[in-house]
Amino acid sequence: MFRSINHLLRHVSRSVASLAMLLLLAASQQAQEKIGPTAILGAMGEEVALIESRLSDKQERQVQGMTFFTGKLNGRPVVLARSGIGKVNAAVTTILLIEHFNPSEVIFTGIAGAINPELFPGDVVIAVSTAQHDYGANLADRFEHRGAPNPADGRRNPVFIPADARLLDAAERASRSVQFDKIKIDGEERAPRVIKGVVVTGDSFISSASKKAELRKLLEADAVEMEGAAVAQVCWQQSVPCLIIRSISDRADSNALRDIVNFQRIAARNSARLVAALLDQLESARQ
């Protein structure tokens, strides 16, 4: 009788273990099926044109007057949109995107002005962190940068919102395999370089050597643009992984307006090429 009971207990134990394994596999499969698309945003049409041209199974969807494209890029589900220029437009588009498409991550691609003196048009900055350079308090003797309070709980966001570590690592690895467009500057053709750095955001186009020096000194910025930190803040508050990738179109100095005309197309393509390679990395890791 004792041997029979032991035998029965072993049989029940194996059955329970098998059932637990089946339930675990089913839960894992269900979790994979629920993984949302990768969201890609750019402020202007030219910044997302390369990605849009490579989408397969492309479909268009209107949400509150905004156009979103869904499809696949390198086999990975993607939702793509043009946010428009500026922090408010970028934030509105991001929250619509999160609410209606439930992305697994958000990537912003586009152009930026160089603050780091070692960066030139065509170079690419993968943002380790982003900050709003025009958000804070004008005190008697200085401007104090502050993080915006989260309206949901009142807690203040960090001044520098960190990039998602997984996306940052994947982008760095992807950058090693990308064939970027070379660019001719002062009659000399040079291959773009990729760095990890700080990208700062504000609602004004920077074409000023003094402002550039200020952003470098106070925030240790490498590049400046007009949307990234707003997108990062929304994603931070909504717990959605986010990464900002920018390619240099100008040097944020007195020649910026001239340079952006000459270099924005190649800069936009270089940023988009890195995003496409990043999606390859993410899809390989998922399989």
Q: Which of 123, 222, 225, 250 is catalytic?
A: 250
Contact 136, 145 (CB under 8 A): yes
In 3D space, the residue among 241, 131, 145 whose CA is nearest the CA of residue 197 turns out to be: 131
Distance between CA 260 and CA 2 in Å, rounded? 85
For 56, what's the count of Cα atoms within 13 Å in the CB-facing half-sphere? 6
Q: How many CB atoms lie within 10 A of CB 52?
A: 19
166 exposure class (CB count in 10 Å sphere: 0-12, 13-18, 19+): middle
Residue 76 β-bridge partners: 73
Which among 47, 105, 259, 280 is annotated as catalytic? 47
**Which tokens in the block code for residue 271?**
């940023």
DSSP per-residue string spanning 7-75: HHHHHHHHHHHHHHHHHHHHHHHHHHHH--PEEEEESSHHHHHHHHHH-EEEEEEEETTEEEEEEEETT
| Short-list 191, 42, 206, CA closest to 113 | 206
CA distance 153 to 258: 44
Phi, psi at 92, each rounded to 5°: -60, -45
134 token code pair: 């025009």
Strand partners, 124: 194, 247
Structure tokens at 214: 């200020």
Give catalytic status of residue 47 as yes or no: yes
Q: Which residues are catalytic?
A: 47, 250
